[in-house]
Amino acid sequence: MRAETAARLLELNCQFYQTFAAPFAATRLRLQPGVKRILEAVNLDASLLDLGCGSGELARALARRAQRGPYAGLDFSPRLLDAVGELPAHFSLVQADLTAPGWEVLLPGRAWNWVTAFACLHHLPGSWARRELLQRIHALLAPGGCLAHSEWQFLESEKLRMRIQPWESIGLSTEEVEPGDYLLDWREGGRGLRYVHAFSEAELGELATASRYRVRESFHADGANGRLGLYQIWEEG
């Protein structure tokens, strides 16, 4: 994918999450089953960096369970961060763009036992960009630390497949994007469009190896069919 195309898709998603922050946050008022399963492995004293924290559903869940370790939530959208609400003193929020150089310097200065990226990587266009981000995350992990992430499996739902839109609706062609890239519409509080990449387990395995990780655990969860989210825990390879 050309850098110009990737930048255009990033801007599309940026506009979406700014425009539809309120209705999007209203659909994220509870943790998904897959996220709850991941949290069972997180020690109360662990430090956790939450990439793409959105409106803070994970932060609030950690606060409710009296997480003692430090937490930092990072998101590019000030409107979503404004919806997080009050958090414990040892929790912090950071407004930063994961696609911009140097976002790491805005974080509290520590290595993290856990980094989470739930429903985050699939919004990042370009295989090269995803690999670069994962390598940056790798450098933030404490010894023995883990990266937990989830990828939306919208192709598992007939209803969601009906939301796929042609690339021509935003002036692009199939040849300009990568295999597995899709354009999906949004219908709550108005009509919007988002870029999403559909990951397979095989693709994620290759990405883990290329980014110096090892896949420790992989499972499906969420949705009525229990397959709308692909969750993985990665550790240093």
Position 209 confidence tier, pLDDT thresholds 50, 70, 90: very high
Q: What is the reported pTM?
A: 0.92
If you count DSSP H runs as helices and E runs as strands, how many of each does the chain have, helices first?
8, 10
Domain ranges of the chain: 3-11+30-152+199-236
3-11+30-152+199-236 maps to CATH 3.40.630.30: no
Q: What is the pLDDT of residues 94-117, one digit of tens each?
A: 999 998 888 998 998 779 999 999
Which residues on neighbouring strands pair with residue 234, listed in sequence order? 147, 215
Place of tokens 């370790």: 69
Instruction: Tell the burial category of 28 from Cβ atoms under 10 Å away from its Cβ (0-12, 13-18, 19+).
Output: middle
80: Cβ–Cβ under 8 A, 6 or more apart, which residues? 17, 21, 24, 25, 53, 54, 55, 56
Greater model confidence, 42 or 21? 42
